Amino acid sequence: MEPFIRIGIDIGGTFTDLQILDERSGALRSLKTPTTPEDPSIGLLTGIGEAATRFGFSIADIRILLHGTTIATNAVLERKLARGVLLTTAGFEDVLEIGRHGRRDIYGLKPHQEPPLIARDRRLGLAERMRADGSIETALAAGAVDAVLPRLDALRAEAVAVCLLHAHVNPAHEQLVAERLHLLRPDLPVSISSEISPEIREYERSSTTVLNALLMPVVGNYLRRLTARMAEAGLTARLLLVQSNGGVCSPDVARRQPARLLLSGPSGGALATLRMAETLDRPNLLGVDMGGTSYDVCVVRDGAVTQMTQGEIDHLPVRLPMVEIRTIGSGGGSIAAVDEAGRLRVGPRSAGSRPGPVCYGRGGTEPAVTDADLALGRLDPRFFLGGAMALDRLAAAAAIAAKVGEPLGLGTEQAAEGILAVTDTGLAAAARLSLFEKGLDPRDFSLLSFGGAGGLHAVPVAEELGIREVVFPADASTFSAFGILHSDIVHDLARSRVMPLTADALPWVGQTMSALRVQGEALLAADGVSEADRRFAVSADLRYRGQAFELVVPWPEAPALDPLLADFHALHEARFSYANPEAPVELVALRMAVTGLLPPVHAERAAGRGADREPEARETWLAGAWRRIPVHQRERITGPVDGPALIEEEYTTIFLAEGWRCAPGPAGALIARKEAA
Report the pLDDT value the prediction gives residue 19, as an integer from 0 to 100: 93
- The rounded distance, in Å, linking the Cα atoms of 154 and 80 is 21
The overall average pLDDT reported for the chain is 91
Is the model's pLDDT at 295 over the cut of 60? Answer: yes
Report the pLDDT value the prediction gives residue 494, as an integer from 0 to 100: 94
Nearest of 293, 300, 333, 330 to residue 427 by alpha carbon: 330
Average pLDDT over residues 358-383: 93
pLDDT digit string, tens, across residues 626-655: 999 999 998 889 999 998 999 998 889 999
- Confidence tier at 305 by pLDDT (50, 70, 90): confident
Task: Classify residue 501 as left (phi > 0), alpha (psi -120 to 50) or beta.
Answer: beta
- The rounded distance, in Å, linking the Cα atoms of 500 and 535 is 28
Is the model's pLDDT at 111 over the cut of 80? Answer: no
Nearest of 646, 648, 622 to residue 635 by alpha carbon: 648
- Confidence tier at 608 by pLDDT (50, 70, 90): low
- The rounded distance, in Å, linking the Cα atoms of 595 and 534 is 6
pLDDT digit string, tens, across residues 447-496: 999 998 999 999 999 999 999 999 999 989 899 999 999 899 999 999 99
- Confidence tier at 607 by pLDDT (50, 70, 90): low
CB 659 within 8 A of CB 675: yes
Is the model's pLDDT at 677 over the cut of 70? Answer: no
Q: What contacts 282, CB < 8 A, 6 or more positions away?
A: 276, 446, 471
Largest CA distance in the chain: 81
Is the model's pLDDT at 102 over the cut of 90? Answer: no
Percent of the chain surpassing pLDDT 70: 98
Is the model's pLDDT at 13 over the cut of 80? Answer: no
Is the model's pLDDT at 413 over the cut of 90? Answer: yes
CB 8 within 8 A of CB 66: yes
pLDDT digit string, tens, across residues 344-370: 999 888 887 778 899 999 898 999 999
Residue-wise over 369-385: b if at least 16 C-beta within 10 A, else e? bbbbbbbbbbbbeebbb
What are residue 396's phi and psi, to 5 degrees?
-60, -45
Least confident of 385-389, 408-412, 552-556: 385-389
Average pLDDT over residues 500-523: 96
CB 274 within 8 A of CB 247: no
pLDDT digit string, tens, across residues 194-203: 999 999 999 9
- Confidence tier at 612 by pLDDT (50, 70, 90): low
Report the pLDDT value the prediction gives residue 437, as an integer from 0 to 100: 80
Q: What contacts 115, CB < 8 A, 6 or more positions away?
A: none
Report the pLDDT value the prediction gives residue 606, as an integer from 0 to 100: 66
Residue-wise over 464-481: b if at least 16 C-beta within 10 A, else e? bbebbbbbbbbbbbbbbb
Report the pLDDT value the prediction gives residue 504, as an integer from 0 to 100: 95
The Cα-based distances of 435 to 260, 441, 522 in angstroms read 25, 7, 39
Average pLDDT over residues 281-310: 89
> Torsion over CA of 314, 318, 324 and 330, rounded to 10 degrees?
-10
pLDDT digit string, tens, across residues 29-81: 999 888 888 889 999 999 999 999 999 999 999 999 999 988 888 788 778 89
Query: What kind and span of H or E run contains 553?
Result: strand 551-554
Average pLDDT over residues 73-93: 90
Is the model's pLDDT at 109 over the cut of 80? Answer: no
- Confidence tier at 609 by pLDDT (50, 70, 90): low
Query: What kind and span of H or E run contains 148?
Result: helix 144-154
pLDDT digit string, tens, across residues 575-606: 888 999 999 999 999 999 999 999 887 777 76
Residue type, 380: D
Residue type, 662: C
Percent of the chain surpassing pLDDT 90: 70
